[in-house]
Structure 1
Amino acid sequence: MKNEPPTEPATDPQQSVECGCCSTGQLLSEDDIRKDVTLLSATANYTRYEALRRIAASTNGVCVCELAPTLGVSQSAVSHALSRLHTDGLVTRRKDGRWRYYEATAQAETLLSALDTIRQMDHE
């Protein structure tokens, strides 16, 4: 069987790219890829990920002052992590006096649930 060179990449990111041996299927748009990478990179840090897990487990939101001791990092490191999680849409924040309380968004809940499912599959 003769090896065929891959065809030119599709110009439309939603089109399939096929070579002689296989098909990559449906591709994501550049915007979707950028959003996915941003979301995943927001959780690709121990402090941010652990903070998000703790926030998602709370019922009334979590204050920075509560997270710093449990994460073992400074309050400024927690504030920086929470700022990134907020910017990337994984937590909301509300101000109560001089404190800010953070809650997980539906997007964060879905992401954490997907990670839990993947982890369970790994243990089967």
Structure 2
Amino acid sequence: MTAILTRSAWTTDLELEIFDKLLDQYARHIPKKRSQEPRSPETYEERENFYRIRVAGAAHDFGLTFALLVCRQVLVPFYTRLGWQSFNGILLVEQPGGTVPFTGNEPMVLPVNDKAPKKGTINLCGLPW
């Protein structure tokens, strides 16, 4: 059997088309266009809340239990203010020689749909980048 794709696998236009069809079918009362363009966060507090909401929202949309990041030690206070917690366990990654602990940066976790682990072992089952 041969399948021929007539459009790109996933584009912004396709996403908007699907979203518009869903609104037409299930939520006709929701406008398709914004009444005004969103503004960028301006104050320090707005920027911090913006990033916190974006990360948590994306992780929630993907059904993740928690989010994981690695950062330099000097950035830990910044991410802590955004709700991230230090992960004091072992973060494993794949390297050409096999599975090894990742020690290049500080691992941090963000609870999303459940509690995030603060210790133990997390295996990325792949390369760190």
Instruction: Name which structure has the greater RCO, CA cutoff 8 Å, separation 6+.
Output: 2
Q: Same fold by TM-score, threshold 0.5 exceeded?
A: no
When the two structures are superposed, what TM-score results if normalisation uses the length of structure 2?
0.23
With structure 1 as the length reference, what TM-score do the two structures score?
0.24
Which of the two has greater strand per residue? 2
- The structure with the largest helix share of the pair is 1
